[in-house]
Structure 1
């Protein structure tokens, strides 16, 4: 973004230089074209430079020094004093220019004409000063806008990192709790699950340090996680359907895990049959992720669809896909369904 700001500033300065060249060269060119004689172009160019030079000096003194070093630093009196000095020099220059014309042309002193020229010239200098202020304020506004965008981006990246770091121990504690329950049921399976858990943690800790990761890695991760959870939830009927036509897109790391964790957590029941249906598909540049599971709340006060994992996911979606995602959840007929759609994720 700093590069964008530098490009805009450079463009502004090039436009200013081009305008100066046009002003200085236009009169000599028109005069030479009218006279059909280019032999005195340099002489006419010198006169044009003398006539416009003081105006450009007024503009550039303000643009490069007075405005950034005085006006922007709230040294208003210094800014006014510098411009009064410049205008005084301009007045003296115009006076001697007028006196030279009067002596050369008619030896007269038409002070009315001189006053009119002086007023026009004074107004022109004031306009140039305000143009310099306007251009400088535009450049400053643009720099502040870019800095604000950079600050927002850094803040969002820091929050995403914090959210992911928060998710890792949350995932670990839930999985360890599941293994602890499995130890009481089947010690051999628990030993195997610890080995599988190490693979999952290796991915969660070391392969998710980027803002986005390949979706194929995420799909492999959730497949391994589901296999691990099946060791404990052997009575739960789990269905996983992944669209084989999903392109190699990038998604936020650990995107699928929180809804799937909740599905296993709230669908488990020792008394009633449980089902979990997970579907991941891709169509028309949209990624669709749906999890439907049996709903067996542990208590009336315990609500599905809330907690660290879900809140974490919603905030990450807002930061990573602002305006490009949809999140829906509902409970119907003892089935809890969560549906997430990511748009423009190609």
Structure 2
């Protein structure tokens, strides 16, 4: 009898110990570090511990998550994962049909490339065709098209997109017509760019990082190699003063990478709210106005890319051994953009036909003048 009692006591202690250990493990896995370095408890992590991460992307647990085939460049530090919210919640939220596309297109580390087009930009031989051509003629970047979402702003643009690319998304906004070319700084243009910012915020809220690129940017090499792990936001520059952390650099938010973090979502909210305080400005001007607040108040880590790597018609490098992207900015009018981007393509094809020895010498550069580029 005494032996039975002892065995019962030992068994009870064993079960209690096992239960406590399991609770501790689950509790530990639910702890996340917020942007201030303090510890918080994630209810979602405690309930599910991000079990959907690999399945959402159709990836196995050992798949490498990277835009660079050779190395991992992007961090998942303090990322937001809201992919476990209920279907009812998703339907009530903005852009309710966005999540399935993100799950299908994103890399295993949940990053997507996004551009946007209306009918004028998407029709044959217009900006979308030139944009896609860059990935095909560029240096080992064709695989990035698997992770590109083309946001279309009207049904005709959607039809054009589906004819040339598998991942298209129709963005509809009540009371707005984005079909025709939007002249820079017109009221419709300003509405358009702010609508894109709201879409970008939603992507972050769903737990995905994004690199947004204007469709008048020609990709020639992989720009992710110039996006650092520690920055919350990385942007190209209109004017670059030599230091990628210099707050005085002039941003160009037509090419911008943002990590999905709580801090980044707060930043997007601050940015969107700042529109009312700065009426008549497009999103890039407002970002330039508030960038000091983002860094000093919200503690957002902002980094700028050297124009030698991600340049534009405003300011660019001339070494074709370095260039990754070229932006047809400082160029008004669709015809002018198309004309000069085609000249860039011709220059690139000539450069790629050179021997490696001739390329390394760096003697060949862009042919100028064009209608915009100089």
Question: Which is richer in helix?
Answer: 1
Higher relative contact order (CA 8 A, sep 6+): 2
TM-score by length of 1: 0.28
TM-score by length of 2: 0.27
